[in-house]
Amino acid sequence: MLKHYNKSENKVEKKGQRQWFFDAQLNYFANEIMQTLAIEDADEIAQSLNRAFQACITLKIPFNRNFKRVYRFDGKNMMPDYKVSGLACYLIIINCNPSHERVAKAQLYFAIKQAVFK
């Protein structure tokens, strides 16, 4: 099951005033999505991410509101990752290889949830 990360509050000082903003949209990590789907091949992960990136670019969906490059420490190494929105999570999953059973099930779940068959 994917972890849903709560809104992260970030404090910004602007002209002596405190201003608060939220990264409310970026609730998932791309690497955790891939782990949940049991995808370990780095090339396959890169292909899925690149297709999701391209979908955003083609549709003129703001990239920085849906994908944010981050680095996470796993106890030994600093690992690159992306913090992603729900939309980006969906785009990543639908652009994965459906020959993986978990991917096919996730794709079917989204199709049913969005009532594609109506």
How do residues 8-22 score in pLDDT, each as one tens digit? 444 444 444 444 334
**Domain presence at residue 62:** yes
pTM here is 0.73
**Domain presence at residue 13:** yes
**Domain presence at residue 2:** no
Spatial distance between the Cα atoms of 16 and 29, rounded to a whole number of angstroms: 33
**pLDDT tens, residue by residue, 74-105:** 889 999 999 999 889 999 999 999 999 999 99
The domain total for the chain is 1
**Domain presence at residue 118:** no
